[in-house]
Structure 1
Amino acid sequence: MRRPTEAEIQEAVEYARASLAMEGLPLTAEAEALIRARLGRQISDAEFLRRAKELATRE
């Protein structure tokens, strides 16, 4: 599987930002960095889920 381009990652981040905005929630800088790390294949799915759960329970 190929690595997504920066434009594709940016599009995914903007989609996430819009989805959260519809629920009245912001996309934090930490959450955006986490999304970018996963899409850029810097962290595994398991690590992404672990850290996302931490963020969700902390905020």
Structure 2
Amino acid sequence: MKQFRYPKQREVTQHTLTLFTISNKSKTDLYNTLSQRISDLKIQEDVFLKNNPNLIKIESLDNE
């Protein structure tokens, strides 16, 4: 297993711990975990935008 090195000042966040946890899973489990996480984030985004109607969603321009 590869070791990851981060700068000393970096805090270990929940996100970092999640990455270490899923790094030991099979590729299928990893894919399913990430797919579920993306789905959860999209739902959170939709709820946030619904609760904040004065905000406008701006799509990324990087895909041009």
Same fold (TM over 0.5): no
Higher Cα Rg: structure 1 or 2? Answer: 2
- So what's the TM-score if we normalise by structure 2? 0.34
Question: Which structure has the higher relative contact order (CA within 8 Å, separation 6+)?
Answer: 1
Between Structure 1 and Structure 2, the one with more helix by share is 1
- So what's the TM-score if we normalise by structure 1? 0.36
